[in-house]
């Protein structure tokens, strides 16, 4: 079976790409060949009559991927809306099966790192959600959630949704997007009471050379190789 992970979020703009870039860099430093894929991206930037997908481009650079950007992200749309809606407006047929083929091409004996678009249940193609792509790829899922009040509910709801698709949960990353959090709040500690998968956090405005804990990277490699899920919601 394919080794790798699928990165999803509890919402859009929660830091999936930042987490993916960190993972790609750190795996590459361990001499692991990373195949980055963000097969469809909306909100692309138009430059010289070409649409540039910033997220896919960041993943490609972080992974030191030698192939063209079109391998990483062949479907690009300018409107910052759901890919399924953007494809419809562009009169482009976009199916889950097409994205599965793109993700799997050339990924044998490599670590496949796939980033979805938007949240786990966000519409992705004309016939599927991000959840459907993850299920079709049969990859362990890493969930990124904004670290804020309400994160516990968001994380637990998404973990349950991922489990319902029969997918392993590789871990949960809580990403702080602001510095106005209640200092009495500790979502990591509280979430660990309910989940038995790895739970980690990213501080607000991390350093440029920020690295995810090696424990998380190791757990991702293990999850990718075993395809087993130790996650359960306690309660």
Q: Is 72 within 8 Å of 115 (Cβ atoms)?
A: no
CA distance 216 to 122: 26
Active site residue 38: yes
Cα–Cα–Cα angle for 154, 14, 165, nearest 5°? 50
Give the HSE-up count for residue 203: Cα atoms under 13 Å, Cβ half-sphere: 9
Dump strand ranges (E) for 75-150.
75-76, 111-119, 123-125, 128-129, 141-146
Q: Which residues pair with 45 in a beta bridge?
A: 52
Choose, from 16, 25, 38, 148, the residue flagged as catalytic: 38
Phi/psi of residue 99, nearest 5 degrees: -70, -35
Separation between Cα atoms, residue 60 and residue 2, nearest integer Å = 19
Cα 129 to the chain's mean position, in Å?
14
Q: Which helix (H) or strand (E) holds 134?
A: helix 130-137
Dist CA 40 CA 152 (whole Å): 29
Instruction: List residues with catalytic annotation.
Output: 38
């Amino acid at each position: 079976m394919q080794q790798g992970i699928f990165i999803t979020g509890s919402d859009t703009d929660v830091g999936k790409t930042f987490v993916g870039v960190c993972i790609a860099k750190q795996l590459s430093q361990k001499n692991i060949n990373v195949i980055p894929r963000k097969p469809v991206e909306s909100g692309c930037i138009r430059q010289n009559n070409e649409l540039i997908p910033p997220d896919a481009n960041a993943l490609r650079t972080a992974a030191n991927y030698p192939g063209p950007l079109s391998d990483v992200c062949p479907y690009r749309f300018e409107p910052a809306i759901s890919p399924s809606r953007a494809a419809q407006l562009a009169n482009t047929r976009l199916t889950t099966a097409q994205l599965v083929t793109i993700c799997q091409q050339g990924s044998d004996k490599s670590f496949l790192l796939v980033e979805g678009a938007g949240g786990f249940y966000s519409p992705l193609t004309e016939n599927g959600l991000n959840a459907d792509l993850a299920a079709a790829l049969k990859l362990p899922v890493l969930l990124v959630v904004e670290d804020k009040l309400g994160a516990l509910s968001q994380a637990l709801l998404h973990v349950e949704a991922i489990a319902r698709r029969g997918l392993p949960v590789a871990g949960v990353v809580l990403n702080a997007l602001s510095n106005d959090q209640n200092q009495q709040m500790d979502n990591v500690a509280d979430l660990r009471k309910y989940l038995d998968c790895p739970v980690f956090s990213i501080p607000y405005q991390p350093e440029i050379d920020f690295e995810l804990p090696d424990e998380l990277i190791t757990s991702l490699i293990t999850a990718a190789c075993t395809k087993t899920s130790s996650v359960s919601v306690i309660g």
